[in-house]
Homo-oligomer: A and B are copies of this chain.
Amino acid sequence: MELVERVLAGERLALARLLTQVENNTPTGREALERLFPLTGRAHLVGITGAPGTGKSSLANRLALGMRKEGAPKVGVVAVDPTSPFSGGALLGDRLRMKDVAGDSGVFIRSMAARGTLGGLARATAAVVQVLDAAGYDPVLIETVGAGQSEVDIVRLAHTVLVVDAPGLGDDIQAIKAGILEIADLLVVNKADQPGVENTLRALQAMLDIGEQRYAQAGWKPPLLRASAVTGEGIAEILAAIRAHGEYLGESGGRRQRDETRLTREFEALLQEELLARWRAGTEPETVAAVLARLKARKISPGGAVRELLG
């Protein structure tokens, strides 16, 4: 397949085209993915998440450029935006793409907006990361906008998860933090040039102290770092911590474990999709329609409708 060869030869335009095929799950995309899959597993996958307003995108850009400066030949950035069910994703996408075009040709940035179903977005993201990995991009940063379960699900199976916070966010965000803190391998307080940073650091330190025992068992305590994507403060320290976590994962067997969990989940999601497609193909549409009509009249519940159709 010519497109795959051109991607492996390093052609950016071919890569962009192939990613579109893969995102849209076309036959060409599926075939390419199958061919590229044995080449995956080399890239260090770095997830970047955190509440809105923490400046994750700017930080991801800084980190990608920093990785290049420190010697990575090709760095991938996948910016996932599940918060825009319709058109909103383009806002962030365009912002990122502009920086890409204006900047370093060793950085490849791909923006992904929601595509119908959440499952669809997770699958497309996994596939895009696999193509970048196979194409020699290493590390690959996976950045999510928002801080919902969907974003958490997408980044939590990266090798290294960076949770970003910032001073001056509200109460709701404190509540969110308690949840996403538990998936953090690194904690970064961004916008360290703004007032209130000491308070945020103190609050996070207190939360980290609570988890002390668990971290001691795991052998890795998330470092708490301060940074400013604007001034560049702390970027080198974050890059060093990402490398250190990568080494820890290699030594502890954690990397292999995360890889296996991620692949298994991806397999399960695809299996579920395919089972539904096959069931649909083997069922009379009229039968389904009759049951759905009774459901809509509230004569049977959704669960009752399923039991009736599957017998």
Using a CB–CB cutoff of 8 Å, the interface residues on chain A facing chain B are 30, 33-34, 37-38, 40-41, 51-57, 81-89, 91-92, 114, 118, 121, 126, 130, 145-153, 156, 169-183, 259-260, 263-264, 266-268, 270-272, 274-276, 278-279, 292, 295-296, 298-306, 309-310
Contact = CB atoms under 8 A, between A and B. Distances in A.
A306 B89 contact: no
Task: Indicate how many identical chains form the complex.
Answer: 2
Given A84-B179, A275-B310, 4 more contacts: A53-B169, A121-B149, A147-B148, A148-B149
B300 A53 contact: no
A37 B304 contact: yes
Nearest to A91: B175
A202 to B, nearest CB: 18
A110 to B, nearest CB: 17
A306 to B, nearest CB: 5
Given A148-B150, A176-B146, A310-B274, A298 B37 contact: yes
A180 B301 contact: no
A142 to B, nearest CB: 15
16 contacts: A34-B304, A37-B298, A52-B52, A53-B53, A53-B171, A83-B179, A85-B149, A85-B182, A88-B175, A145-B175, A146-B149, A147-B148, A264-B296, A274-B306, A275-B276, A275-B279
Those 7 A-B pairs whose CB atoms lie nearest each other, nearest first: A148-B148, A88-B179, A84-B179, A53-B170, A88-B178, A82-B149, A37-B301
A69 to B, nearest CB: 26
